[in-house]
Amino acid sequence: MSGEDAPAQQQNAVDQKQETKPAEEPKTETESPPAAGAAEAAATPAATTEKVPEEEAFTYRALVLTGYGGYDKVKLQVKKGKPVLKAGEIMVRVKACGLNFADLMARQGLYDRLPSPPVTPGMECSGVVEAVGEEVTDRKVGDKVMVLSRFGLWQEVAVVPAAHTFLIPDGMSFEDAAALPVNYITAYMMLFDFGNLRPNQSVLVHAAAGGVGIAATQLCKTVKDVTVFGTASATKHETISEGGVTHPIDYRTKDYVEEVRKISPKGLDIVLDPLGGSDTHKAYNLLKPMGKLITYGTSNMLAGQKKNLLAVAKNWYHQFSIHTLSLIQGNKSVCGFHLGYLDGEMELISQAMDIVLDLYKQGKIKPRIDSTWHLEQVGDAMRKMQERNNIGKVVLTTEPMPEEEKKEEPKKEDKKEDKKKDDKKKDDKKKDDAKKEEKKDDKKKEEPKKEEKKEEEKKEEPKKEEK
Amino acid sequence: MSGEDAPAQQQNAVDQKQETKPAEEPKTETESPPAAGAAEAAATPAATTEKVPEEEAFTYRALVLTGYGGYDKVKLQVKKGKPVLKAGEIMVRVKACGLNFADLMARQGLYDRLPSPPVTPGMECSGVVEAVGEEVTDRKVGDKVMVLSRFGLWQEVAVVPAAHTFLIPDGMSFEDAAALPVNYITAYMMLFDFGNLRPNQSVLVHAAAGGVGIAATQLCKTVKDVTVFGTASATKHETISEGGVTHPIDYRTKDYVEEVRKISPKGLDIVLDPLGGSDTHKAYNLLKPMGKLITYGTSNMLAGQKKNLLAVAKNWYHQFSIHTLSLIQGNKSVCGFHLGYLDGEMELISQAMDIVLDLYKQGKIKPRIDSTWHLEQVGDAMRKMQERNNIGKVVLTTEPMPEEEKKEEPKKEDKKEDKKKDDKKKDDKKKDDAKKEEKKDDKKKEEPKKEEKKEEEKKEEPKKEEK
């Protein structure tokens, strides 16, 4: 997002102060647990040692990708030193952060918009303006804002250009505000800029229970008589149907191409394709004349916790490539979209955001939060998303994690066992040290149960609103 | 256009009756000149011989592509026998026909939507309904209509599905009506369906003085503050500027990519590309983020009168092909459009036509006729278009050619000489019998001067309306 390199500089400056250790693989076990404690320490001046100039006393917790690999590569650390604001920048006290597929790709080294580790990931967050740089006229201390950036937002304090922030409308929670920007701007620009969605058209939404999928479904319903085909595993069908999907398709047990053709023999007006590889070919073939294929990811590359070279190679091998003569003879359109590459296009993005926020105020759209996790739980949060166990957005909160939650580990053993089994099934093909890593993960696993339960209770509500 | 094969059947039925000669290369010289006479004979029952049942006495002049090649391959012939209408069809007494680039491609065997010769080309015409088949409820004898079809309209009588016709608005001439459908529907669907053109955007229109170019420019001007870059040779700049092109570029003396970048360093929102080959690459590179490349032809393949294998090969070699990952990283869209391949999509086409006709009635668009030619002059008409000497639409009229015009040949010798030189320059690389053919062409060349002059006088008017 950020054409400017503000988050990068903040990152670098702070890392230099903080890190004398090698960037590669710092002592993981020891670092993550004390982090929460360190944050508390930050609030207690007594904990800061030696020379304590005001600038140095300023500390904040930050998630840091320390190297490419599994979930454990994102570690909670403490950064020191108050960031210095340049003209046009603001400092935000972050309240909640959104997880996106690009973050998962980035962790595996598959996303080139993230600088090399160590680096703080995170493309979106919500928070409160804590300081304002020179030349900033439209933001003031205390404003509640959403933030978009190329990276660098999974931390308690983020410095960003004011132009990359949007005021949070009255009544919107920090969680919703962290869940909204990437998914809704992506869905909006795909459907209404490239897709030019109009009444009576038909749309295929893959991963319809994911963040973009739910946003796209809601946005489709703002246009008269749009038919939404949505793929998701069967357990999610009720929820996505209530959310607006006309025809849910269980892609795990059925051939979605056949299912679509049964209902719409001529094909579709728009296909949103986050999968890549051979699914892009299928999408293209499903298009009607004047149809638009909008591809916005290669999530098929993600197989397992760490980079799966076979999956990556397969995706490249099957990568869709199209000749113009075929496009002409088919009267078709192929578009590529990724918000992370829309550098410096804040004007376009702001236009889309204005419309999205307007729809929110009218009650026509509302982010659906799958679950909220503490920074300490980022590994589990990522796992939930990567294993497609979420319905809606996975969100991080910067609220300190209550001590009692940290001690509840044994309660979850049964669940962890299930997860382990799942992991093994998926990673069977992999010959590397996945098992060792999972064990490490388990040790660090914290208690997300509460959030999940909360969410289950909440589920009924948003459904109604989505109608 | 025609999903149904009505024109094909008409063609076949009539050809079978009429032709015992080989389809390949019938005695050209002898056939074309007597054709006009034959048409008159049709009006005079005395001229019809032997058995004269009413059906057989029905004759009409038709242009027929007798084989692939130069301008002389399209011959004026007489078809006999009254076509029988199927349910849903109407018979149209054709008044005027539009020429399109696809017709030129077809003559060289480069357009696969035309059946093998002998066949009557022609994708659009205007005329009067002369008979109505069963189940036709929305057309009646005497209605003035525009017609769209895959082929088969360059003749005095055409049988088409009623659904492929559009009522001509009051006050629109048959010439305008023949000039409008293909160019304006093409430009409209490209700019507003695939292109999603919005205020303040920028568009590159190649061949801005051509039929689609002028239509696209006029349609761009219906949207607020759209900047139009238009390529055309310098002599046409004044006209296209008055027609709405903001920045005319002489592609013969300047690099249009550089010229665009000088004015719009970030690039363009939409590029309409009728050229193909390496120009499609340039178009893609000129796109801004969220930009749309809409390619709708391969006119670069047309070099010279007959199929130029080198040009065809070059075009194929340089044919643009794009990987989805590049599209994603560029946030770009590549679309292909060709009305000739929109088989059976009359609903989509009608929607576009309704809007186009509405704009016409509001005075916001108006076809610009470059010149009108008699059926006997189709070779010269094609030449004018192929050599890019037109500004606007080249139209054929079915009006009989006055005898005095036919005798005025010597007057044009000077002009013909110029043309010959031009042809030689262009065809230098070709080793075939082009010269022999040109001579043949010259012999048959009739008098288009009158039309051209008429057009020059008319030029001032449409310009004012276009503003």
What is the ipTM for the molecules in this complex?
Answer: 0.79
Ranking B32-41, B106-115, B233-242 by mean pLDDT, the lowest is B32-41
Nearest CA-CA distance, residue A237 and chain B, Å: 29
The residue of chain B nearest to residue A291, with distances taken between CA atoms, is: B194
User: Which of A196, A319, A345 is opposite residue B324, by nearest beta carbon?
Assistant: A319
Interface mutation target, options B198, B328, B345, B351, chain A, most CBs of A under 10 Å: B328
Q: For A327-375, what is each residue's pLDDT tens digit?
A: 999 999 999 999 999 978 999 999 999 999 999 999 999 999 999 999 9
Tokens for B175, please give them: 């010439």
Please state, in angstroms and rounded to a whole number, the distance separating the CA atoms of residues B150 and B113. Answer: 7
Measured on CA atoms in the order A21, A25, A26, A27, is the torsion positive or negative? Answer: negative
Residues 6+ apart with CB under 8 A from A245: A205, A208, A217, A228, A229, A230, A232, A237
Q: Are A257 and A285 in contact (CB under 8 A)?
A: yes
Judged by CB atoms closer than 8 Å, whether chains meet at A341 and B320 is answered as: no
At residue B104, does pLDDT exceed 80?
Answer: yes
Backbone angles phi, psi at B219, to 5 degrees: -70, -35
A contacts of B297 (beta carbons < 8 Å): 328
Ranking A70-79, A315-324, B355-364 by mean pLDDT, the lowest is A315-324
Residues 6+ apart with CB under 8 A from B448: B371, B373, B377, B380, B381, B384
A contacts of B349 (beta carbons < 8 Å): none
User: CA B69, B70, B72: angle at the middle one, nearest 5?
Assistant: 110
Ranking A388-397, A412-421, B183-192, B331-340 by mean pLDDT, the lowest is A412-421
Mean pLDDT value of segment A94-112: 93
Please state, in angstroms and rounded to a whole number, the distance separating the CA atoms of residues A384 and A209. Answer: 13
The residue of chain A nearest to residue B280, with distances taken between CA atoms, is: A324
Q: Are A182 and A124 in contact (CB under 8 A)?
A: yes
**Per-residue model confidence (pLDDT) at position B52:** 58
**Per-residue model confidence (pLDDT) at position B51:** 56
Judged by CB atoms closer than 8 Å, whether chains meet at A324 and B332 is answered as: no
**Per-residue model confidence (pLDDT) at position B309:** 75
User: Which of A276, A298, A331 is opposite residue B336, by nearest beta carbon?
Assistant: A331
Compare B168 and A445 and report the one with higher pLDDT.
Answer: B168
- Written in H, E and C, the secondary structure of chain A is CCCCCHHHHHHHHHHHHHCCCCCCCCCHHHHHHHHHHHHHHHHCHHHCCCCCCHHHHCEEEEEEECCCCCHHHEEEEEEECCCCCCCCEEEEEEEEEECCHHHHHHHCCCCCCCCCCCECCCCEEEEEEEEECCCCCCCCCCCEEEEECCCCCCECEEEEEHHHEEECCCCCCHHHHHHCHHHHHHHHHHHHHHCCCCCCCEEEECCCCCHHHHHHHHHHCCCCCCEEEEECCHHHHHHHHHHCCCEEECCCCCCHHHHHHHHCCCCEEEEEECCCCHHHHHHHHCEEEEEEEEECCCHHHCCCCCCCHHHHHHHHHCCCEEEHHHHHHHCCEEEECCHHHCCCCHHHHHHHHHHHHHHHHCCCCCCCEEEEEEHHHHHHHHHHHHCCCCCCEEEEECCCCCHHHHCCHHHHHHHHHHHHHHHHHHHCCCCCCHHHHHHHHHHHCCCCHHHHHHHHHHCHHHHHHHC
The whole-chain average pLDDT of chain B stands at 81
At residue B35, does pLDDT exceed 50?
Answer: no
Judged by CB atoms closer than 8 Å, whether chains meet at A338 and B328 is answered as: yes
Judged by CB atoms closer than 8 Å, whether chains meet at A194 and B333 is answered as: yes
User: How many C-beta neighbours within 10 Å does residue B319 have?
Assistant: 18
At residue A63, does pLDDT exceed 90?
Answer: yes
Percent of chain B with pLDDT over 90: 64
3-class DSSP state of B377: helix
**Per-residue model confidence (pLDDT) at position A51:** 55
Q: Binning pLDDT at 50, 70 and 90, where does residue B49 land?
A: very low
Mean pLDDT value of segment A379-391: 95
Q: Are B342 and B349 in contact (CB under 8 A)?
A: yes
**Per-residue model confidence (pLDDT) at position A46:** 40
Please state, in angstroms and rounded to a whole number, the distance separating the CA atoms of residues A371 and B252. Answer: 61
User: CA A440, A442, A448: angle at the middle one, nearest 5?
Assistant: 140
**Per-residue model confidence (pLDDT) at position B407:** 60
Of all helices (H) and strands (E), which one includes residue B61? Answer: strand B59-65
Judged by CB atoms closer than 8 Å, whether chains meet at B321 and A320 is answered as: no
Counted across chains A and B, CB pairs separated by less than 8 A come out at 132
Please state, in angstroms and rounded to a whole number, the distance separating the CA atoms of residues A331 and B190. Answer: 10
Q: Binning pLDDT at 50, 70 and 90, where does residue A308 land?
A: confident
Please state, in angstroms and rounded to a whole number, the distance separating the CA atoms of residues B289 and A343. Answer: 9
Judged by CB atoms closer than 8 Å, whether chains meet at A336 and B333 is answered as: yes
- Residue labelled with tokens 């069967």: A234
User: Which of B193, B328, B345 is opposite residue A295, by nearest beta carbon?
Assistant: B328
* Strand B287-295, strand B333-336: pairing: parallel
Percent of chain A with pLDDT over 90: 64
Compare A408 and A403 and report the one with higher pLDDT.
Answer: A403
Backbone angles phi, psi at B371, to 5 degrees: -165, 155
Q: Are B221 and B260 in contact (CB under 8 A)?
A: no
Of all helices (H) and strands (E), which one includes residue B78? Answer: strand B74-80
Number of H helices, E strands in chain B: 19, 16
Q: Binning pLDDT at 50, 70 and 90, where does residue A407 land?
A: low
B contacts of A334 (beta carbons < 8 Å): 322, 324, 327, 333-335
User: Which of A193, A327, A331 is opposite residue B342, by nearest beta carbon?
Assistant: A331
Tokens for B232, please give them: 């055309």
Please state, in angstroms and rounded to a whole number, the distance separating the CA atoms of residues B327 and B316. Answer: 21
User: Which of B280, B320, B327 is opposite residue A335, by nearest beta carbon?
Assistant: B327
Judged by CB atoms closer than 8 Å, whether chains meet at A320 and B320 is answered as: no
3-class DSSP state of B133: coil
The DSSP bridge partners found for residue A461 are: none
A contacts of B289 (beta carbons < 8 Å): 341-343, 345, 348
- Residue labelled with tokens 């800029």: A193
Interface mutation target, options A114, A200, A324, chain B, most CBs of B under 10 Å: A324
Q: For A260-288, what is each residue's pLDDT tens digit?
A: 999 999 999 999 999 998 899 999 999 99
The residue of chain A nearest to residue B198, with distances taken between CA atoms, is: A193
Backbone angles phi, psi at A434, to 5 degrees: -60, -40
Q: Which residues of B touch A (CB under 8 A)?
A: 189, 193-194, 196, 276, 280, 289-290, 292, 295-298, 319-338, 341-343, 345, 348
Q: Are B1 and B339 in contact (CB under 8 A)?
A: yes
Q: For B293-306, what is each residue's pLDDT tens digit?
A: 999 988 777 777 77
DSSP code of residue B119: B
Judged by CB atoms closer than 8 Å, whether chains meet at A321 and B320 is answered as: no
Residues 6+ apart with CB under 8 A from B389: none
Compare A56 and A265 and report the one with higher pLDDT.
Answer: A265
Closest CA to A169 of A161, A158, A181, A160: A181
**Per-residue model confidence (pLDDT) at position A434:** 39
Nearest CA-CA distance, residue B98 and chain A, Å: 21
Closest CA to B341 of A332, A268, A330: A330
3-class DSSP state of B39: helix
Percent of chain B with pLDDT over 70: 75
Mean pLDDT value of segment A236-248: 97
**Per-residue model confidence (pLDDT) at position B283:** 96
Mean pLDDT value of segment B191-196: 98
User: How many residues in total does chain B contain?
Assistant: 467
Of all helices (H) and strands (E), which one includes residue B438? Answer: helix B434-444
A contacts of B336 (beta carbons < 8 Å): 324-333
User: How many C-beta neighbours within 10 Å does residue B425 have?
Assistant: 8
Nearest CA-CA distance, residue A233 and chain B, Å: 26
- Residue labelled with tokens 């939060």: A369
Of all helices (H) and strands (E), which one includes residue B463? Answer: helix B460-466
Judged by CB atoms closer than 8 Å, whether chains meet at B333 and A334 is answered as: yes
Please state, in angstroms and rounded to a whole number, the distance separating the CA atoms of residues A300 and A277. Answer: 7
At residue A416, does pLDDT exceed 70?
Answer: no
A contacts of B327 (beta carbons < 8 Å): 295, 334-336
Q: What is the pTM of this model?
A: 0.80
User: Which of A193, A289, A323 is opposite residue B342, by nearest beta carbon?
Assistant: A289
Judged by CB atoms closer than 8 Å, whether chains meet at B295 and A327 is answered as: yes
Q: For B169-188, what is each residue's pLDDT tens digit?
A: 999 999 999 999 999 999 99
> What's the distance, CA B391 to chain centroid?
13
With 0-12 / 13-18 / 19 or more C-beta atoms within 10 angstroms meaning exposed / middle / buried, residue B417 is exposed
Amino acid at position A249, single letter: I
DSSP track, B273-301? ESS-THHHHHHHHTEEEEEEEEE---GGG
Tokens for A180, please give them: 């909204």
3-class DSSP state of B155: strand
The whole-chain average pLDDT of chain A stands at 81
Q: Are B249 and B238 in contact (CB under 8 A)?
A: no
Closest CA to A154 of A388, A397, A445, A441: A397
Closest CA to B151 of B135, B141, B164, B142: B164
Q: Binning pLDDT at 50, 70 and 90, where does residue A206 land?
A: very high
DSSP code of residue B190: I
Of all helices (H) and strands (E), which one includes residue B37? Answer: helix B28-43
Calculate Rg over the CA atoms of chain A.
22
**Per-residue model confidence (pLDDT) at position A54:** 66
At residue A322, does pLDDT exceed 50?
Answer: yes
B contacts of A331 (beta carbons < 8 Å): 336-338, 341-342, 345
Judged by CB atoms closer than 8 Å, whether chains meet at A323 and B328 is answered as: no
